[in-house]
Amino acid sequence: MNVTDALKIRKSTRAFLDTSVSREQIEKILSSASHAPSGTNAQPWQVAVVTGRKKDELTSGMEKIFREGDMGGMDYQYYPVKWQNPYKKRRVACGIQLYSTLQIDRKDKEKRYEQWVANYHGFGAPVLLFFFLDPVMKTGSYLDYGMFIQSIMLAAVEEGLATCPQAALGQYPELIKKILGYDREIVLVCGMAVGYEDKEASVNSYRTPREDIATFSRFFV
């Protein structure tokens, strides 16, 4: 498989099969992704691979807190405080596409709520990855991390695996760090669900559109 094909095949998968993923597969993916570039070769990534009982403990804990009405908060500001176009328009369109595919009406708050809860279970994926960053590192390391995370997703495609990078898995950093035994000061960047795609699930049938390069590129000669 070439890189272009992998880029186009990759998508955010929101329903996984209950099929195990071997430690060897995850190690192979992480080994490949470790070749991602980073400023001064700092390699700032720290990854927690969570499966089995520990995954169940984490996902149940996140769901419990969410159902109690605590929306949590990430270790850093991921989204803008006030959305503006064209980003607001794209965000709304993304949500409409998701819920229309699931045939969940805009006014059906209960079903929308339960669909959001699925985030905290990694949509049923057997493996969850949590990405941590030493607090001594600054903004540039977030750029490094983006390249590392994308490398993981592309390497997963080659292994026949699906992924879903999730900001939602970074919503309860205090709980996650406590359960996994990480220092409170470390930064939880985000999480990722990894597993085999449930190709029969309707939620996996749609693809979000991409802008034409003319909308985001300027060529100078």
- Residue at 63 is within a domain: yes
Residue 85 lies in a domain: no
Residue 143 lies in a domain: yes
CATH number at residue 158: 3.40.109.10
For residue 162, is it within any domain?
A: yes
- Please state the rounded mean pLDDT for residues 104-112: 92
**Statement: the pTM of the whole predicted model exceeds 0.75:** yes
Residue 208 lies in a domain: no
- Number of domains, the chain: 1
Condensed to tens digits (0 to 9), the pLDDT of residues 118-158 reads 999 999 999 999 999 999 999 999 999 999 999 999 999 99
Residue 33 located in a structural domain = yes
Do the domain assignments include residue 49? yes
pLDDT score of 106: 85
Q: Which domain holds residue 178?
A: 3-77+120-201
- Taking only the tens place, the pLDDT of each residue in 182-207 is 999 999 999 999 999 999 999 999 99
> Which tokens is 164 given?
């879903």
Q: What digits encode the pLDDT tens for the residues 30-79?
A: 999 999 999 999 999 999 999 999 999 999 999 999 999 999 999 999 99
Whole-angstrom distance, CA of residue 117 vs CA of residue 150: 25
CA distance 22 to 140: 32
Q: Is residue 37 in some structural domain? A: yes
Q: How far apart are CA 220 and CA 204, in angstroms?
A: 39
Helices 87-101 & 109-117 angle (0-180, nearest 10): 100
Sequence length of the chain is 221
What is the Cα gyration radius of the chain?
18
For the stretch 74-97, pLDDT in tens is 999 999 999 999 999 999 999 999
